[in-house]
Structures are given as C-alpha cells and as structure tokens.
Structure 1
C-alpha cells in the first residue's frame, strides 16, 4: 500500500492511493488555503467513520444481518489544545429488524477488525460508541 501527494497550488494537493483513486486536499481559507477539499486531519476522521461502516457491513453480511440504511458519524475532540484527537465518539445508525444484541455483537466484532480504529486505539485516542436503531420504513 502506498499513498502519494502532489502539491498543485497554494495549500492544495492531490493525494492518490496509486490504484487510480485521488482525493483533493486543502485547508480552509482562514488558514491560507482555498478550501478545495478536506484537510488531512479531517480525512483521518472520515477514514475512521468509513472503516467502521465498511467493516460493520462485512461483519453484518457474515452474521446475516440485513439492513437498508447504515450511517456512521465520527466526532473528533481535542481536549486542552491537544495537537491531535484525544477522543472520538462514534455513532452508528442502522435500519434493521435484527435484535439489539445481534447488532451489538456485530459492532463488537467490527471494532476488533477495523484497522483505522485499531490505529486510533494504539495512538491512545479514547473512543466511545453508541448504536441507534432507525425505524423500518
């Protein structure tokens, strides 16, 4: 796995995973950028949310949990002007008929397998999780 970033102009750059996928990164106008994309720091949090969503989906498939909506919010907090996240709150919202205990077990297994979450944990970031079951339409 390899990531490459190429400066384009100002504070803006393109990041690629060298498999043909590219993301524009920048900083807000107030910090000298032109706000053309998410910051690298924001992408870290977006990656955590995406990883939990992806791995939960994979685990749910194996556990035969069917759903028609799955959303994951990751909220990063920095206490006392820390240079990085000190805490992350994950809220998983799912529309399913599966039991609460089955969803909780799926999330438990997800957290063991989510590589981005493991990385945050190893970095000492305190992470809390909540599950909200949406109403079936």
Structure 2
C-alpha cells in the first residue's frame, strides 16, 4: 500500500492511494484552513468507522447474519487538551432478525480483526462500543 499527498492550496492537500482514489484534506476556517475537506484527524476517525462497518459486514456474512441496515457512528474525544484522540465511542446500529447474542459475537470478532481498531488499541486509545438494534420500518 502507498499513499501520496500533494499540496493543493493554503493548508489543503489531495491524498491518493495510488489505485485511483483520492480525498481532500484540509482544516476548518477557524483554524486558518479553507474547509475544503476533512482534517487528517477526522479522516482517521472516519477510517475507524469505515473499518468497523466493513469488517462487521464480512464477519456477519460468514456467520450468516442477514441485515437490511447497518450504520456505525464513531465519536472521538481529546481529554485534557491531548493532541490526538484519548477516547473513542462507537455505536453500531443494525436492522436484523439475528439475536443480540449473535450480533454481539459478530462485533467481538470484528473488533479483534479490524486493522484500524487494532492501531487505535495499540496507541492506548480507550474505545467503548454499543449496539443498537433497529426496528424494521
């Protein structure tokens, strides 16, 4: 894997994965950016959320858990003016007929194998999780 970042203007950059995908990184206007994209720290949190969603989906298929909706909210906080995340709270919302026990087991396996989550854990970030089972509309 390789990522390449190219400055575009002000504090904004274009980040590519060298497979044809790109994102714009910038910082908010109140921090002297132009707010043309998510900050690098926001992208990190977005990556964690996306990783949990993707890995849960893969594990759920292996466990034969069918679902009609899956969302992951990831909230990062920085206590005591820390320069990076000290805590992350993840809420997984799923619409499924599967039992809560089966969903919990799926999430446990997801958390053991999510590469981004493993990095957060190794960095000492306190991460908490909760599952909310959605009712079919």
For the superposition of Structure 1 and Structure 2, which TM-score range results when normalised by the shorter chain?
over 0.9
Task: Name the structure 2 match of 1:92.
Answer: 92
TM-score (norm. length: structure 2): 0.99
TM-score (norm. length: structure 1): 0.99
**Partner SS state of residue 19, structure 2:** coil
Distance 1:81 1:34 in 2: 23
Paired residues of 1:97 and 1:136 also in contact (CA < 8 A): no
**Deviation sequence 1:66-104 (CA, Å, 0-9, x none):** 001000000001111011100000000000000000000
Paired residues of 1:90 and 1:130 also in contact (CA < 8 A): yes
Matched, 1:9 2:12: no
**Partner SS state of residue 34, structure 1:** coil
Distance 2:82 2:14 in 1: 27
**Deviation sequence 1:4-31 (CA, Å, 0-9, x none):** 1000011111000010000011111111
Distance 2:51 2:113 in 1: 9
Alignment of 1:20-39 (within 5 A): 20-39=20-39
Superposition misfits of 4+ residues, deviation over 3 angstroms: none
Q: CA RMSD in A?
A: 0.5
Distance apart, 1:136 and its partner CA = 1.6
Residue segments in structure 2 that go unaligned for 5+ positions in a row: none
Task: Name the structure 2 match of 1:66.
Answer: 66
Residue segments in structure 1 that go unaligned for 5+ positions in a row: none
